[in-house]
């Protein structure tokens, strides 16, 4: 998928050019409604899909780069392993997910010579990168507090009151 000017687009389904909606599932968390899910059986299949998606990304020329990516891209790979126990007739399933994220670089209007649409794109890129930076900082703070709390048994025992 591509996130361009805060709009989500399916890079693997050219028919779906609209703004896909990000939803929240109560158990599974956030997901993109109507996003393509394609089955693959080999690394070559994955590579072909990634190349196809990258070719569909929004790019434009700036003073800094002739083919500047104007969006963020996310490529999710979900691995599913199914096992069937012949003795018990039970089937189990393990699922793992990897998200490959390509973020557009931060934009300086003076350096890129951006005007009009390019300026708007750059502002959206910077806004999303700033928000992501704040989220990462907040997560780092939570981890720091978690470890500092767990360094002291007396403080850790009080955690139930937070």
Give the mean model confidence (pLDDT) for residues 7-11: 91
pLDDT in tens, 36-45: 999 999 999 9
**Position 112 pLDDT exceeds 80:** no
**Position 162 pLDDT exceeds 60:** no
Task: Look up tokens 């434009």; give the residue.
Answer: 60
Can you name the residues that pair with 32 across neighbouring β-strands? 22
**46 or 139: which leads in pLDDT:** 46
Weakest mean pLDDT among 65-69, 87-91, 151-155: 151-155
**Position 107 pLDDT exceeds 70:** no
Choose from 10-14, 43-47, 59-63 the range with maximum mean pLDDT: 43-47
**Position 56 pLDDT exceeds 80:** yes
**Structural domain tally of the chain?**
1
Domain containing 59 — which CATH number?
Answer: 3.40.850.10
Q: pLDDT band for position 13 (50/70/90)?
A: very high
Give the mean model confidence (pLDDT) for residues 117-146: 78
pLDDT at 38: 95
Cα separation of 95 and 80, whole Å?
5
Mean pLDDT (the chain) is 81
Choose from 46-50, 52-56, 102-106, 150-154 the range with maximum mean pLDDT: 46-50
State the residue range of the domain holding 104.
2-161
């Amino acid at each position: 998928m591509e996130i361009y000017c805060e709009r989500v687009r399916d890079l693997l389904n050219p028919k779906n050019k609209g703004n896909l909606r990000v939803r929240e599932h109560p158990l599974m968390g956030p997901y993109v409604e109507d996003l393509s899910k394609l089955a693959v059986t080999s690394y070559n299949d994955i590579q072909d899909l990634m190349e196809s998606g990258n070719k569909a990304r929004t790019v434009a020329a700036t003073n800094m780069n002739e083919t500047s990516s104007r969006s963020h891209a996310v490529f999710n790979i979900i691995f599913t392993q199914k096992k069937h126990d012949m003795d018990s007739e039970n089937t189990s399933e393990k699922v793992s997910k990897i998200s490959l994220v390509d973020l557009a670089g931060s934009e300086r209007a003076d350096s890129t010579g951006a005007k009009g649409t390019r300026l708007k794109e750059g502002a959206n890129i910077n806004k999303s990168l700033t928000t992501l930076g704040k989220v990462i900082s907040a997560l780092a703070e939570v981890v720091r507090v978690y470890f500092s709390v767990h360094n002291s048994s007396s403080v850790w025992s009080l955690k139930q009151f937070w």
